[in-house]
Structure 1
């Protein structure tokens, strides 16, 4: 289960901390003011310190008030560990680690400016794929020696960002590498202060419908002309352009401002070529990151799985998928470990696994059934036999799966129904993972060279 937070201070600071940490990961407010205790503040119950100790002790304590030193001393006397101070030192605040000797690890304006690259994306989105792919690219670039600042969409977007990733149990980023939350679209130009080069990451940042949820940051419209702009393995998410003519004109114009572009799918090359833009395919960032990082994350999960089991990770449930999954279970005679899909997000954090648990469930499984692109990616990384099922014949997003599996010689693993799986004998046929990982290594070498050239 993901780490949860209790915010000390049901006031203005606490309100901003709630936005920063995200409401679904915050279990309560704590306050000394007896007039607030027992009431709700922005939907969260305000409790006394004694009530916190009795009912919410497992939640990580974050102090969000101006007189944080006094509160930290009070909590220390009560034997309560303080992990973070929420400081209003920049718009929408900043989460600062509280050291063992009781000092703040300050992150200041000069620290944000000391970066080589601004990595633009959706690293706090409700998606295992989105969060893991941005962390992977960040991790890869850091290992290459670059100083990387993570930048995301503004607070007035339909999908409101959080200050830290929502699905990781432990924030995997250095606090100094997370930019300030930006309040409005028009203020996104502020990020030009922090780097000379900006990279747009992967996932469906050029899917016209999805992009609008994030204020279209994938266009890098807020980056000045003289700054270097690079897109790595970015995706349109569909076989053909799926937006209006007006949006097509806008997107083509903004993409022509980029210095270098690579896309995730073969179909992306065709779309860019139509717009007079040269590009090539590069593998998804999850394959660039050292695979040991994923094993370490999986091993850090408190949820350990013993015995032989089938891991199922299904984003969009259908009767066809249920039927195929039932056939697999009956044939293999294994138990099933179900990983919560997007439907669980509507039910609150209690039903959503952390990314560490997600990785662990896949890593320790004996077979993976999924309809998720990144679910299949992780099965491949952990060398698991798998089947990925298309959502429907009309699904326009299958191009990413087809491109990846085609390059790795695994196209037969993408099925439409039970009959295809049986005909192809996928439950018995073994995958030659030595060959597959050799092909991945070739793609990684190509991607590293491309990035080095693009960054100059």
Structure 2
């Protein structure tokens, strides 16, 4: 089958890239032809562009922004290595920055099915156009509609009344719906009036060896110690890191840009450059311990059998952490604040991976059955 995949724009986030790659791999292994749709944000008008320039200029004058006002022009360099991975390892559509272009693409390509997911594709504040991620542009088409591990990100309802009405009607046209969090099952039932199945993120459908193959035989410096992958800095998170380093007597290393594109805290453009996907994955493979506030950082810690601590970011979506941890018996590894006693206690307990691996295998099989069943004509 020729299958289109609707997911978030790729390039700036390692987890987003890896879940897109993993889903393509799973579909290819099953004999399908997947294409990830490059749905970019709609083109903004002159008024928006002028307002953004003015806001950034003011932030610069106030000393709250160190990055260039026109940092977008440097994105090809900043994202060079992640975009190279996408170009080499994923089959993508052309960039589509409007509903009209999206509709025309699907009419031209004649896909047999479309899969929405994974990642927070059903979170309105994250998706370029939330109606598109419920396939509003396919009205009148008989293409098979599937949601695989689509995520709302949070437990509370973030849709407006109008969005709820539109998306509920569109959700009822899906052949099969699965979500990444347990809370998503409830949200689909309560607000859309549809049944959904709880499945794992696409990255968890692949074995560890699939990721090792991406960096095998490449010259990547090996590191030892505590690997940190932290997206949002905070003092309490630093306290957790320092406690773990001290208790384990290990050094810290990380595989991410020195400065975030969401904070613009550096005037040095090189600080925003994203390391390669190979380096990012191998960072987890080499670690003795991982500390992360990223959902996919947590996933790769589990895949590589590494003891870890996950630091919860409520604004980015906490339900996905709790949902996965509950199903694997890892809830004690989630922290929402610094608790020195709890950190030390956790470090004193053996990380018993065979139990986790057994549970993960069961979840993986359930998810594979859902996806295979949804794609049968």
* TM-score, normalised via structure 2 length: 0.81
The separation in 1 between residues aligned to 2:11 and 2:130, in whole angstroms, is: 13
Equivalent pair of 2:180/2:199 in contact (CA under 8 Å): yes
Cα gap change, 1:247/1:188 in structure 2, threshold over 3 Å: closer, same or farther?
Answer: same
Q: Name the residue aligned to 2:304.
A: 382
**Deviation, structure 1 residue 117:** 0.8
Look up the match of 1:86. Answer: none
Q: Which of the residues 272, 279, 282 maps onto 1:357?
A: 279
1:238-264 deviation per Cα after TM superposition (whole angstroms, max 9, x unaligned): 112112222222222222221110000
Equivalent position SS for 1:134: helix
Is the 8 Å Cα contact of residues 152 and 184 (structure 2) preserved in structure 1? yes
1: CA distance, partners of 2:174 / 2:112:
13
Query: Structure 1 residues 415, 154: closer, same or farther in 2, change over 3 A?
Result: closer
Q: Is the 8 A contact 2:115 2:145 kept in 1?
A: yes
Structure (1 or 2) with the greater helix fraction? 2
> What pairs up with 1:418-429 in 2 under 5 angstroms?
418-419=338-339, 422=342, 425-429=345-349
Are the counterparts in 2 of residues 133 and 203 from structure 1 also a CA contact under 8 Å?
Answer: yes
Q: Which residue of 2 aligns with 1:35?
A: none
**Paired residue for 1:188, among 88, 97, 102?**
102
Conserved in 2, the CA contact under 8 Å of 1:156 and 1:183?
yes
Q: How does 1:20-419 map to 2 (within 5 A)?
A: 116-122=2-8, 124-154=10-40, 156=42, 167=82, 169-171=84-86, 173=88, 177-190=91-104, 191-194=106-109, 195-211=111-127, 213=128, 216-224=131-139, 225-274=141-190, 275-299=192-216, 301-306=218-223, 308-340=224-256, 343-345=259-261, 346=264, 348=269, 351-391=273-313, 395=315, 397-419=317-339
In terms of Rg, which structure is larger? 1
Q: Using CA pairs under 8 Å that are at least 6 residues apart, name the structure with larger relative contact order, 1 or 2.
A: 2
- RMSD over aligned CA atoms reads 2.7
Question: SS of 2:115's equivalent?
Answer: strand
Matches of 1:341 and 1:258, distance apart in 2: 39
Report the Cα distance in structure 2 between the residues aligned to 1:230 and 1:181, rounded to whole angstroms: 22
- Provide closer, same or farther for how the CA distance between residues 254 and 341 of structure 1 changes in structure 2, counting only shifts above 3 A: farther
SS in 2 for 1:312: strand
Secondary structure of 1:273's aligned partner: helix
Consecutive unaligned residues in structure 2, runs of 5 or more: 45-71
User: Which residue number in structure 1 is paired with residue 55 of structure 2?
Assistant: none
1:348: how far off? 4.4
Give 1:237 deviation, angstroms: 0.6
Instruction: Report if the CA contact (8 A) 1:314-1:341 is conserved.
Output: no
Q: Distance in 2 between matches of 1:229 and 1:255?
A: 9
Contact 2:227–2:283 (8 Å) recurs in 1: yes
- CA shift digits 1:39-67 (9 cap, x unpaired): xxxxxxxxxxxxxxxxxxxxxxxxxxxxx
| Partner Cα separation in structure 1 for residue 23 and residue 315 of structure 2 | 27
Q: TM-score when scaled to structure 1?
A: 0.68
Do the aligned partners of 1:298 and 1:363 also contact (CA within 8 Å) in 2? Answer: no
Task: Flag structure 1 segments of 5+ consecutive residues without an equivalent.
Answer: 1-114
Cα contact 2:131–2:166 (8 A) shared by 1:
no
Paired with 2:258 and 2:124, the residues of 1 have a C-alpha distance of 21
The aligned length equals 336
Is the counterpart of residue 453 in structure 1 residue 373 in structure 2?
yes
Q: Would the aligned equivalents of 1:123 and 1:134 in 2 still touch at CA under 8 Å?
A: no
